[in-house]
Amino acid sequence: MSSTEPHREGWMPSAGHLQEAAFQTARGVRPLCILGWIASDPKTMLRTATIIEEIAAKHTGLIAYVIDENRGVASYGFARHAWAVELLEYVVQGGCPEPMMHMILGLLLGYESGEIERHHRCNGSGRRFDYTEWLSSSPSQDSSSPLHCSQDTAETSHQH
């Protein structure tokens, strides 16, 4: 199942998984966790909210959320702070520019800032134009290409 597909009707992560995610988020391991995606119909969203709210109530300050992403799916999970839910809502409802979306999601999900920087550099943060069509038709896609991104350093090589 891809991350953009909603869960099947009646499917939820195991009780153990829900409890562990709640525990880690409540303890500040990350500002927010995304447990999954469901169909964004009111019945499914209400049922999901009820289940995760019961779990969140056992952890001081933990917030259970269900966010309608306005594309037929809703994401759900736990957050430590209301601002994290508001920021996730901004990102998933299409208000956030794509380059910023990945950085914000990385921060919300608890990735270390250096890893976010490495990912950002590797994905062409300085390239403010669309070159994907040319790249897909380019005959040379090997590591000697000047557009090759090294996984070790996560920097774009500039061979002359």
Strand partners, 75: 37, 67
Which pLDDT score, from 0 to 100, does residue 4 have?
43
Report yes or no on 53 lying in a domain: yes
- Asked if 45 and 68 touch (Cβ cutoff 8 Å), the reply is yes
- Asked if 17 and 95 touch (Cβ cutoff 8 Å), the reply is no
CA distance 36 to 13: 8
What pTM was estimated for this model as a whole?
0.69
Overall average pLDDT of the 23-52 stretch: 95
Report yes or no on 8 lying in a domain: no
CA distance 77 to 57: 13
Residue 127 has pLDDT above 60, yes or no: no
Nearest-CA neighbor of 83 among 60, 100, 108? 108
Report yes or no on 88 lying in a domain: yes
Report yes or no on 78 lying in a domain: yes
Residue 48 has pLDDT above 90, yes or no: yes
Opening angle at CA 45, ends 40 and 99, nearest 5: 55
Report the CATH number at residue 107: 3.30.2190
CA distance 90 to 136: 32
Report yes or no on 71 lying in a domain: yes
Which pLDDT score, from 0 to 100, does residue 146 have?
43
In this prediction, residue 126 has a pLDDT band, given cuts at 50, 70 and 90, of: low
Number of structural domains found in the chain: 1
Residue 147 has pLDDT above 50, yes or no: no
Distance of CA 134 to the CA centre of its chain: 28
Which pLDDT score, from 0 to 100, does residue 135 have?
63
Report yes or no on 56 lying in a domain: yes
Residue 81: give the domain boundaries. 15-111
Which pLDDT score, from 0 to 100, does residue 128 have?
52
Which pLDDT score, from 0 to 100, does residue 57 have?
97
Residue 95 has pLDDT above 50, yes or no: yes
